[in-house]
Each structure stands twice: as structure tokens, then as C-alpha cells.
Amino acid sequence: MNVKDFQWKEGMTVRDLVQQYQHVGFQSVELARASDVFVKMKKNNAKIFLTFTSNMVTSGLRGFFAQLIKLKIADVIVTTVGGIEEDIMKSMGETFSIGSFNTDDVELHEQGINRVGNLTIKNESYMNFEDWINPVLQKLYDKQKRWAVSELLHEIGMQLNDENSILYQASRNNVPIFCPSITDGALGFHLFLFQQKNPDFIIDVVKDFGNILFVTSYDEKKAVIALGGSISKHHAILCTLLNGGAEYAVYMTTAHTTSGSMSGATTNEAKSWGKVKDDSDVATVIGDVTIMFPLAMIRALEVLKKEELLE
């Protein structure tokens, strides 16, 4: 395939743009390839694992993830607990603000404002989250004492009432949400305090390993969309590994391979493990997910819509 001169045309759509990217070079080519893999995984009825880290839920991508669940693009979600907390906060009406990467963090601290890159979250939002979650935990405990994580999150999602919420859409669309480190956040603290009062309250992470394992099968086609790194990425591909490997995989990350981190591990490295199959369709795109992912996915959605493959 040849490089082609890029040209702007008035009224250009995202689809037009990504179409041109496949002839531009460097990461634009990889992004266009990722978009193709998105189309193929849906067309070929693969079970799609969508993983993301909590900072993407802090960002406005949260609404997009909820939309993708509704559109039946994501069949399984894996994320970290920060993302779950923030999805709930936003469902409760809390707002996060756009700030700056360069700020006086001591001053922010004095104002009760917490920074995530160029975004900020108020302490107040965490307090409101606490007020909301405690009665929910009580209600769930009254129902049963021992909860697998994804079952707990399903029930929590049923308590929410926000179309833009990941947990809301996941609950309504029977998309399980896995979170292998459920205690690594404010929720962990509230779970701990609750268990102090109710020692027979158990979060069963081991059972949930079975749940993610059986969400798909060896014979089924599997796909992974891993946004960012961390254990959310690792957990999904560990599961596809144990089920024979994924047919499709797209990794989007700012991390590089050179330090040997999971975050920077490529779809090629995944082949050595059998996390993705030797002859799978894969793409690794290096760059900020808040820009890359909407671009590649929107173009895929447009294609799928036109081919009447979207519900």
C-alpha cells in the first residue's frame, strides 16, 4: 500500500478522516488498522472484552463506554475500582472539572480538590459517594453474605438511573463488569468498615475468576480492546489465554515496550503467551486514548451502522 497525500475536504466526517489515515503513516496507519479490527470483531461475532483504567472514566469517555455497551459492542468489561467509584459519582450528579497539568497542588489540596492529570475531583464527591454506597452495601448484605465482585457490581448498577453510566448500561444489558482489585480505592475502605460491623460479609474474588473464565469458551471467538494498561488489560488477556487465545486484539496505550511493563506490552508480545492467537488480527496504537479511541471506534460504528450490523 502506498502513502497518499492527505487532503482536507469541507464538511469532512470522522469516517472520511480515518479512511485517509490508512495512507498517511506512523500511528495514523495503526489507528486505521485498529478501526478495521473493531469492524471485524463485531462482524464475526467475537465476544468482545473492553478494558480501561479509571482515569478514562474520570474523563468524558465514560459516556462513550456506556453507549458502546448499549450498542452491544462490549460484551465484557474489565476495569479498576476507581472507574467504578467515579461512574457512580457521576450518576449521582457529581461533576468533574477540567483544569491544568501545571497547578499548585498544595493549593488544590487546601481547597479539597484532587487532581488527575488535567482533571479535578472534589473531596465532596467522595463524601457523597460514601453516603450513597453505605445503604446499598447494607441492602446487598441483607440479600446475601458472600458476593462475587461482578455480581456485586451488577446489583449496584441496578440501583443507578443514568443512561450515561457504565454500570447502569452493563446491568441493563447483562454485560458483566470485572474488577480484580475491588479494594484498591475508596470503595475498599467502605467495604472494610462494613465488614468490621459485619464479619461474615465476604467479597469473593476467587469465585469471580471463575465467572470471567466462563463468560466465554474455548470455541467462541474472542476479542480484546485494551485501553491503557494495568490489571484491567492483564486480566482480560489472561482470561482469553486460558480460553485458547483471542482472535482479535487492539491495544491503545501511551506506554512503550522498552521497560517490559504490562502497560506497554504489544499485541505481538501477547502472541508469545498465546494471549492472542498466532494468526489473529491485531493492532497496537501508541497515543492518548481520549483522542485515539473515539476516532477509531466512531469510524467502526459508522461502517457497522451502514452495513446494518448495529442494533
Beta-carbon contacts of residue 306 (< 8 Å; ≥ 6 apart): none
Catalytic residue set: 275
176 three-class SS = coil
- The minimum distance between CB 166 and a copy of itself, in angstroms, equals 10
Q: Would you say 132 or 194 has its CB closer to a copy of itself?
A: 194
Determine the Cα–Cα distance for residues 32 and 44; give it in Å rounded to an integer: 19
Beta-carbon contacts of residue 279 (< 8 Å; ≥ 6 apart): none
Question: Residue 224 has which C-alpha cell?
Answer: 480484546
Query: For residue 166, which amino acid is it?
Result: I
Cα dihedral across residues 150, 151, 156, 160: positive or negative: positive
- The minimum distance between CB 219 and a copy of itself, in angstroms, equals 19
- The minimum distance between CB 174 and a copy of itself, in angstroms, equals 22
Q: Give me the residue label for grid cell 511493563.
A: 261
Q: Would you say 44 or 97 has its CB closer to a copy of itself?
A: 97
The answer to whether residues 49 and 222 touch, using CB atoms and an 8 Å cutoff, is yes
- The minimum distance between CB 297 and a copy of itself, in angstroms, equals 8
The answer to whether residues 35 and 225 touch, using CB atoms and an 8 Å cutoff, is no
- The minimum distance between CB 159 and a copy of itself, in angstroms, equals 19
Question: Residue 70 has which C-alpha cell?
Answer: 448499549
Instruction: Please spell the DSSP secondary structure of 190-218, one letter per residue.
Output: HHHHHHHH-TT-EEEHHHHHHHHHHTS-S
Determine the Cα–Cα distance for residues 259 and 280; give it in Å rounded to an integer: 25
Determine the Cα–Cα distance for residues 38 and 225; give it in Å rounded to an integer: 8
